[in-house]
Structure 1
């Protein structure tokens, strides 16, 4: 098929959404499909207020129209609710074309973190409006689907995630000379990631933050005892991660947390809060610990067998995740049946 993927999140951003899309494109092309990425690259953009690293495309309607007219795709997938996503939605609605969407970011919660006066209800009203015309909206797990359904969103189906187990793998050699144990966070350094909950913990050893973002300068000043490495990519990033003893994930708003898969692929157990995202990835007492006492979770995770984490990661390939994505698309002429989303299991 000719598949158009429309996203406001793309390189040079470094985050789980961009990684997911890049890996999905690679797998789709290796399976023989033609993929066109419609992104902010090459377009006129402005920085998102309060987060200038995220670029918003100007005159997005013209860019999307030209790209989709030229491609005449068999299937259109809209990733984000930004200017390009809105333009693609408008294009499909005007021409009565089927399309799918996916839910990656807790948009209402992130807005509230930056603009406290904006009610959550407004954000979820926008999400319902945006995704309602889609043939299907893809989510990372059944728990997320249940939560979104409670906010009035429908036609929710599963698109899981994978990990590159060749790049992210255990290493026997230490990558640095830091006082053990090494507790690490890797990802965007911004307010919604709740990093202070990690950095203020009275943990032994060394705290390391790998990544960059608008909160980095303030956090470096406030927590000089922690090591901030800035952005790392590729083998350098994987080597840093594999040298950690515990991966600490303090976010309470992530829909999944692709970095959790990457940490476990390196044999690194996870410490996190028992919230959406980690709850769907971490096996309690085996690949990590989830606890409202994040410091206790981190100390408990130090004792775990790293081989259990690696075994979990080996079961989650990008090829399998991409096959799920392909099965959920809404082509103009149906070529495959969508994968049904199993009812979420009751907790406890």
Structure 2
């Protein structure tokens, strides 16, 4: 299969979407599929105002057309609703090319948090973007229910995976600060609600790993917190494993891949009972979900690390990639004649 995968979120960004797509690409290539990545690296781009880590691609139409005509795909997946996603959507709709999309991020809530754009306007734009999609892939059942209630259709499940060989329990010697260590990993931005964590009266030490537009302001406001910046690979895995509790203060994430990364390292989770944590953690004894985040953090200290690790092992990239492939619309393009689309044979969803 030759897949064109379009995403505005790509390296050097470090977030759950980029990690998901990177691992998906690598796994599919390992299966023998050809994956053509359409990312901001291929285009002239500018940094997004107030969020320079995100690149906004410009003058995309000609190159998008060339990619599709030079290497006609068997399937098209548009991962993000940014400039590249919109350009690829426009080309596919104009040329009657079936495609799938994914709902990775609650952009309506993110934009509302930044510029107070009404949520109903944001969701109207998202419904417009996803309406032609043959399958909108979502990670959790609660997100699926929420989107269906907002008028989205053709929703399919696509779970996430975890690299359990990289993320695993280790010696807790990465920190010399006072314990317990309460850790946050992710973008340092207003939509992540990090100040709910930083304002908690907790024993020990708070640690923040990640970068973003709020980092400098929060470092100045919370000098007792250790801000370590962006970390990746082995260094990130060592930091996870050295923590005592992973704090997830976001109320807007659609999944939270960092939850699985922490659990795989044997670190329990404290979070709000919202979409993402409710689906990943639920009532499993690997975390505490409570509107009182301090109470959740303290209670999570008593959770068995081995239970967390065992639970995370139930999520694999094989399961995630197979679900993704089953959701694709595969077509044949010969001499510019698109034949009737067909889906991959549906298999039972696992890992949920």
The answer to whether the Cα contact below 8 Å between 1:157 and 1:339 also exists between their aligned partners in 2 is: no
Which secondary structure state, in structure 2, belongs to the residue aligned with residue 271 of structure 1?
strand
Match of 2:263 in 1: 264
Q: Partners of 1:339 and 1:128 in 2: how far apart?
A: 27
Match status 1:31 vs 2:39: no
Please give the residue correspondences for 1:181-330 in structure 2 after superposition, counting only pairs within 5 Å. 181-284=180-283, 286-330=285-329
Write the deviation string for residues 272-324 of structure 1: whole angstroms up to 9, x where unpaired.
Answer: 00001100011436100000000000000001001111011111000110000
Comparing 168-177 with 74-83, greater Cα deviation is found at 168-177
Please give the residue correspondences for 1:31-70 in structure 2 after superposition, counting only pairs within 5 Å. 31-70=31-70
Q: Partners of 2:308 and 2:77 in 1: how far apart?
A: 32
Write the deviation string for residues 8-63 of structure 1: whole angstroms up to 9, x where unpaired.
Answer: 00000000000000000011011110000000014211111221111000112222
Which secondary structure state, in structure 2, belongs to the residue aligned with residue 9 of structure 1?
coil
CA offset at residue 94 of structure 1? 1.0
Q: Partners of 2:349 and 2:266 in 1: how far apart?
A: 30
Comparing 332-341 with 289-298, greater Cα deviation is found at 332-341
The answer to whether the Cα contact below 8 Å between 1:161 and 1:316 also exists between their aligned partners in 2 is: yes
The answer to whether the Cα contact below 8 Å between 2:172 and 2:241 also exists between their aligned partners in 1 is: no
What's the Cα RMSD here?
A: 1.4
Relative to structure 1, the CA distance from residue 16 to residue 167 in structure 2 (aligned partners, 3 Å threshold; closer, same or farther) is: same
CA offset at residue 341 of structure 1? 7.6
The answer to whether the Cα contact below 8 Å between 2:323 and 2:349 also exists between their aligned partners in 1 is: no
Q: How many residues align?
A: 342
The answer to whether the Cα contact below 8 Å between 2:172 and 2:243 also exists between their aligned partners in 1 is: no
The answer to whether the Cα contact below 8 Å between 1:137 and 1:157 also exists between their aligned partners in 2 is: yes
CA offset at residue 337 of structure 1? 2.6
Which secondary structure state, in structure 2, belongs to the residue aligned with residue 41 of structure 1?
helix
Match status 1:337 vs 2:336: no
| TM-score, with structure 2 as normaliser | 0.95
Give unpaired runs (5+ residues) of structure 2.
333-341
Match of 1:13 in 2: 13
Q: Partners of 1:63 and 1:112 in 2: how far apart?
A: 32
| TM-score, with structure 1 as normaliser | 0.96
Write the deviation string for residues 210-251 of structure 1: whole angstroms up to 9, x where unpaired.
Answer: 111100000001100000000111000100111000000000
Q: Partners of 1:115 and 1:172 in 2: how far apart?
A: 43
Match of 1:140 in 2: 139
Match status 1:78 vs 2:86: no
Q: Partners of 2:185 and 2:123 in 1: how far apart?
A: 28
Give unpaired runs (5+ residues) of structure 1.
none
Q: Partners of 2:320 and 2:349 in 1: how far apart?
A: 14
Write the deviation string for residues 166-201 of structure 1: whole angstroms up to 9, x where unpaired.
Answer: 000000241121111000000100000000000010
Q: Partners of 2:158 and 2:181 in 1: how far apart?
A: 33
The answer to whether the Cα contact below 8 Å between 2:16 and 2:258 also exists between their aligned partners in 1 is: yes
The answer to whether the Cα contact below 8 Å between 1:142 and 1:341 also exists between their aligned partners in 2 is: no
Which secondary structure state, in structure 1, belongs to the residue aligned with residue 330 of structure 2?
coil
Which secondary structure state, in structure 1, belongs to the residue aligned with residue 64 of structure 2?
helix
Match status 1:104 vs 2:104: yes
Q: Partners of 1:296 and 1:232 in 2: how far apart?
A: 28
Segments of 4+ in structure 1 off by > 3 A? Answer: 338-342
Relative to structure 1, the CA distance from residue 335 to residue 130 in structure 2 (aligned partners, 3 Å threshold; closer, same or farther) is: closer
